[in-house]
């Protein structure tokens, strides 16, 4: 149980393109979803937290107009990287938790490469 599906797993696109990443909880209702960014050989860096039906809360230094997060239902959250540039290339990972609090269940990540 507690499966989180993230799609796509890999994206390669040109600079200036906007990219949407989906995160779905398949067998539970995700009260809260988290979006992380991970650089090679580093830990996970929290970008934002979103509660269903509410605006996302962004961590300091994360541009909310650059990284648009929508959590419209209890099973789906999306991260849109707008006008992506090479410096946005990274591994993006989502996680979700239900009303019980812990644990967070993670998707398999999206490798984003901007040329």
How far is it, in rounded angstroms, from Cα 94 to Cα 75? 12
How far is it, in rounded angstroms, from Cα 39 to Cα 67? 17
Residue 103 CB, shortest distance to another protein, in Å, is 5
Query: In terms of CB distance, is 4 or 11 closer to another protein?
Result: 4
Neighbours of 8 (CB within 10 A): 12
Residue 16 CB, shortest distance to another protein, in Å, is 26
Query: In terms of CB distance, is 24 or 97 closer to another protein?
Result: 97
Contact positions vs another protein (CB under 8 A): 4, 6, 32, 34, 41-44, 46, 49, 51, 57, 93, 95, 97, 101-109, 111
How far is it, in rounded angstroms, from Cα 21 to Cα 41? 22
Name 106's bridge partners. Answer: 95
Residue 24 CB, shortest distance to another protein, in Å, is 13
Rg (CA), the chain: 13
Query: In terms of CB distance, is 4 or 84 closer to another protein?
Result: 4
């Amino acid at each position: 149980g507690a499966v989180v599906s993230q799609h796509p797993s890999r994206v390669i696109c040109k600079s200036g393109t906007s990219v949407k990443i989906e995160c779905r909880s398949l067998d539970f209702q995700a009260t809260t979803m988290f979006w992380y960014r991970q650089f090679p050989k580093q830990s996970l860096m929290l970008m934002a937290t979103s509660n269903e039906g509410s605006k996302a809360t962004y961590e300091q230094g994360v541009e909310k107009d650059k990284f648009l997060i929508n959590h419209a239902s209890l099973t789906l959250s999306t991260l849109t990287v707008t006008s992506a540039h090479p410096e946005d290339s990274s591994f993006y990972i989502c996680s979700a938790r239900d009303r019980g609090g812990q644990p967070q269940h993670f998707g398999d990540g999206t490798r984003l490469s901007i040329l």
